[in-house]
Amino acid sequence: MGKLDGRVALVTGSGRGIGREIALKLAADGAAVVVNDLDDAPAKETVAAIEEAGGRAVACAGSVTADGFAERFVQTAVQEFGGVDIVVNNAGYTWDSVIQKMTDEQWDAILDVHLKAPFKILRAAQPVIAAAAKAEKAQGAVRCRKVVNISSLAGTGGNPGQANYSAAKAGVMGLTKTLSKEWGRYNVTVNTVAFGFIKTRLTEPATGGATIEIEDREIAVGMSPALVAALEQMIPLGRGGTPEEAAGAVYLLCLPESDYISGQTLICGGGFDM
């Protein structure tokens, strides 16, 4: 018996990286998972990995910023697994520039994926969660649901070249604080995990030229080896975190042991805090 048996989790951006590890960890403890990725193939690969391990999952591919995605995502959970218990807003990427060179498109794209998309997903989930909480209360039952929004140390302390990303991630914490107050009546805890330096394809050492494609845009990724080395020297644990370790922080806030923790930001940064 897993601690999350009978729970239904939605995890955005879970075809790769940290999101994939979150989905795998929740599924390993019994949750049925709706896996999302911008691309269909990575989402299905995560689903296959969950199913091969004996878990339950279904893919819901597509951009979290697309019109109608939030409703489709939530309804997939309802139709396939009967409800919504855990929502992890993880999807995102960076598109950096100093403010005088940052375009409106850069600003809007990053605010849309990191802040507007979580807002729309949670708005779409509200009727489902409220109805379930009301029915459970009428039956004398208690069920604690979980929302975990992903932020960053860029959101807690700012980061040069990331005015868009820092603003979005700071906004995520404001969204978390507000929903923890609005949704307490539904017995939902709403928390944030703010990541420090986590080793993913977006932060791996690169000498230049590495890109990813996001909705027909070529976005530069990677960090200079010198910057990576400097960052790791500032981290008390002496290294960047792994996607598995990052997923562990999210997992903690999905467990029954965290049922009385809400409205908080947990920093997962190896001891480094801006």
Can you read off the two tokens belonging to residue 244?
A: 């598995």
Dist. CA 8–CA 94, nearest whole Å: 29
Q: How many CB atoms lie within 10 A of CB 212?
A: 15
Per-residue exposure over 139-165, b if at least 16 CB sit within 10 Å of its own CB, e if not: eeeebebbbbbbbbbbbbeebeebbbb
Dist. CA 231–CA 146, nearest whole Å: 32
> What is the identity of the amino acid at 117?
A
Helix axes 104-111, 163-182, angle to 10 degrees: 30
Per-residue exposure over 36-75, b if at least 16 CB sit within 10 Å of its own CB, e if not: bbbeeebbbbbbebbeeeebebbbbbbbbbeeebbeebbe
> Positive or negative CA dihedral for 161, 163, 165, 166?
positive
Three-state DSSP at 18 gives: helix
Q: Which residues are catalytic?
A: 165
